[in-house]
Amino acid sequence: MVSDAGLIVCFVYINLFCLIYQELLSFILFLSSSHMEPVPANQPTILHTHISKPATDPTQDPSSVYYLHPSDSASVKLVLVVFDGTCISDWKRSMIISLDAKNKMSFVDGSLPQPPDGSLDEGAWKRCNNMVIGWLISSLERHIAKSIMYFKTANAVWNDLECRYGNPSSSQIYRLQEQLLNTSQESNMSVAEYFTKVKSLWNEIGDLKPLLLCTCNPTTNFIKIQ
């Protein structure tokens, strides 16, 4: 049997151990708090996490000239009627609309030159340039496509076609004028259809042979009065 004196001694030792443990815990908490910046009571704690943002890839930005849609293919025809060597103005206008809609007109008109070798945009430029060349080839008759097959840039293809077919000849203008003169409203043709046919011929003639505006003083004064 344990005596009363022994129970008292054990009780004293237990209380002493609890006091030492509480003081040691308080000391540890004090050391930990001394290395932290104090946070005001009314300010929430904010965890700052650094998130690295990936570099912007121009080929994935729809607003970039280097962007190509997954459905884009070099064998796709951008215009309904392929160019056969005649009526280049109609074909040219259709191609400009299609290329501008795809944000690729800068590859054709030369406003976006080839980047230097080793630059970040070199690969994207070459890929888009070859895509535009494929679109141009797909919109040409076979014999014309073969003549521009080995051009390196879309701008060179465009300039070659413009140089060969862009300058109207007298025979082209005469052929259109004769076709316009012989155009008549057939029995199965409505007034709107007849007007559309005449207007298309007139627009083509006007594109090949624009009207000359007189800039002499009497004419200028007359226009100002009107």
Same domain, residue pair 86 and 175? no
The answer to whether 154 and 189 have CB atoms below 8 angstroms apart is no
Q: What is the pLDDT of residues 131-185, one digit of tens each?
A: 999 999 999 999 999 999 999 999 999 999 998 887 766 666 777 778 788 888 8
Q: Where is pLDDT greater, at 34 or 92? A: 92
Q: Determine, yes or no, domain membership for 2.
A: no
- Report the pLDDT averaged over residues 8-35: 70
pTM of the model: 0.58
Q: Determine, yes or no, domain membership for 67.
A: yes
Q: Determine, yes or no, domain membership for 113.
A: yes
Q: Determine, yes or no, domain membership for 31.
A: no
Q: Give φ, ψ of 83 to 5 degrees.
A: -85, 125
> Following DSSP, what letter does each residue of 157-200 receive, concatenated?
HHHHHHHHHSS--HHHHHHHHHHHHT----TT--HHHHHHHHHH
Calculate what percentage of the chain has a pLDDT beyond 70.
Answer: 68
Taking the C-alpha atoms of residue 140 and residue 144, their distance in angstroms, rounded to an integer, is: 6
Q: Determine, yes or no, domain membership for 4.
A: no
Same domain, residue pair 178 and 88? no
Q: What domain count does the chain have?
A: 2
Residue entry with tokens 């141009």: 136
Same domain, residue pair 138 and 195? no
Same domain, residue pair 183 and 95? no
Same domain, residue pair 145 and 191? no
Same domain, residue pair 112 and 140? yes
Same domain, residue pair 157 and 64? yes
Q: Where is pLDDT greater, at 109 or 191? A: 109
pLDDT at 126 > cutoff 90: yes
Same domain, residue pair 141 and 179? no
Same domain, residue pair 68 and 160? yes
Taking the C-alpha atoms of residue 71 and residue 57, their distance in angstroms, rounded to an integer, is: 19
Closest CA to 78 of 65, 64, 97, 59: 97
Same domain, residue pair 82 and 134? yes
Please tell me whether residue 112 adopts helix, strand or coil conformation: coil
Q: Determine, yes or no, domain membership for 223.
A: no
Q: Where is pLDDT greater, at 224 or 119? A: 119
The answer to whether 157 and 136 have CB atoms below 8 angstroms apart is yes
Q: Determine, yes or no, domain membership for 27.
A: no
Q: Which of 109, 132, 165 is the last residue before a domain boundary?
A: 165
Domain that holds residue 70: 58-165
